[in-house]
């Protein structure tokens, strides 16, 4: 059994990641934290609660940071929809489910202290919540089994020429973690651009049947049109690689590196700098995902999501 804390800024691919984590029989989801990222904390928290309610996920949800460590929030509602979870048609319904009263940072600290050495943190958002926890309670560092995160990349960015969005949104947080001694495993754009979805993924959602499946298909329809309005160009599905890795690490290859986040560059803020010449040039602090068995990855997440949707429909019958 793998104990997981999931930190997210729930938009489309965070939603898929959360469902995959909850659906894995060997995962115990100890907590979920929302953070400002793709959109405001109010939106990411609301979206997270919608997902856990719709998919009947039994995990506490905590509200986290409303702003990055050292900058103002940088949100992208214009790309992902006004609430960060766009849909063409009716999306997941609103929910009355409420977050836990405890803030995400002390909740994460308490969780790590209660399960020392057992918890893997999966993060698919700016790393603000995790960095705040480390700054607040440095004693948790050796208690973290690993931090598996989607962010950064080797090569070009997507938010700027140099930087991937999550890394750009709070590079100071990323650097806190690079310097912390926590074992890091990075799934960057160089990896996630290898794992694509197209209209067949939407079709699989709809074929599963039921109102949640239909809502998820509407969200998928919106996501697939971000790159091409006619859905003729496949879209990378970034965040779920972190969840797939937990179930099937053999789908990926990694290289050790010294990882750092650029925090001061005028043109390169948020760039993730990977020094692969280790240990000659630097001591490694991260494993960097390099290649994916793309067919195996996409087959896995399609099967798992449709299985989760089918289980929901059957339970509601």
Residues with a catalytic annotation lie at 9
- Bridge partners of 272? 261
Where does residue 56 fall: left (phi above 0), alpha (psi -120 to 50 degrees), or beta otherwise?
A: left
Q: Is-contact 4 122, C-beta < 8 A? A: yes
**Would you say 71 and 37 are in contact if contact means Cβ atoms under 8 Å apart?**
no
End-to-end alpha-carbon separation of the chain, Å?
A: 30
Residue 141 · residue 96 · CB < 8 Å: no
Residue (of 247, 195, 237) closest to 13 by Cα position: 237
- The CA distance from 15 to 22, in Å, is 11
Q: Collapsing DSSP states into helix, strand and coil, what is residue 104?
A: helix
| Cα–Cα distance measured from residue 29 to residue 23, given in angstroms and rounded to the nearest whole number | 10
Question: Rounded to an integer, what distance in angstroms lies between the CA atom of residue 59 and that of residue 23?
Answer: 12
Residue labelled with tokens 């836990």 = 100
In this structure, are residues 36 and 11 in contact, taking their beta carbons and an 8 Å threshold?
no
Neighbouring C-beta atoms of residue 1, cutoff 10 Å? 8
Distance CA 131, CA 134 (A): 5
């Amino acid at each position: 059994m793998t104990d997981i804390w999931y930190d997210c800024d729930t938009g489309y691919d965070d939603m898929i990641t959360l469902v995959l984590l909850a659906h894995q029989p060997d995962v115990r989801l100890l907590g979920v934290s929302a953070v400002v990222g793709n959109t405001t904390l109010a939106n990411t928290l609301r979206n997270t609660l919608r997902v856990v309610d719709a998919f009947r996920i039994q995990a506490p949800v905590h509200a986290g940071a409303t702003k990055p460590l050292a900058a103002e929030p940088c949100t992208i509602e214009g790309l992902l929809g006004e609430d960060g979870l766009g849909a063409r048609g009716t999306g997941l319904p609103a929910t009355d489910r409420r977050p836990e009263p405890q803030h995400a940072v002390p909740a994460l600290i308490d969780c790590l202290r209660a399960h020392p050495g057992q918890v893997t943190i999966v993060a698919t958002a700016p790393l603000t919540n995790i960095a705040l926890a480390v700054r607040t309670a440095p004693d948790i560092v050796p208690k973290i089994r690993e931090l598996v995160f989607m962010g950064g990349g080797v090569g070009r960015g997507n938010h700027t020429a140099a930087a991937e969005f999550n890394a750009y949104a709070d590079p100071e947080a990323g650097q806190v973690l690079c310097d912390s001694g926590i074992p890091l495993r990075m799934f960057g754009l160089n990896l996630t651009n290898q794992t694509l979805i197209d209209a067949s993924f939407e079709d699989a959602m709809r074929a599963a049947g039921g109102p949640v499946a239909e809502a998820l298909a509407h969200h998928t329809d919106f996501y697939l049109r971000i790159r091409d309005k006619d859905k003729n160009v496949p879209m990378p599905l970034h965040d779920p690689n972190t969840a797939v890795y937990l179930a099937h690490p053999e789908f990926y290859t990694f290289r050790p590196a010294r990882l750092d986040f650029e925090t001061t560059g005028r043109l390169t803020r948020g760039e993730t700098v990977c020094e692969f010449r280790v240990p000659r040039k630097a001591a490694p602090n991260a494993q960097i995902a390099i290649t994916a068995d793309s067919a195996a990855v996409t087959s896995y997440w399609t099967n798992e999501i449709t299985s989760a949707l089918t289980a929901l429909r059957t339970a509601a019958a």
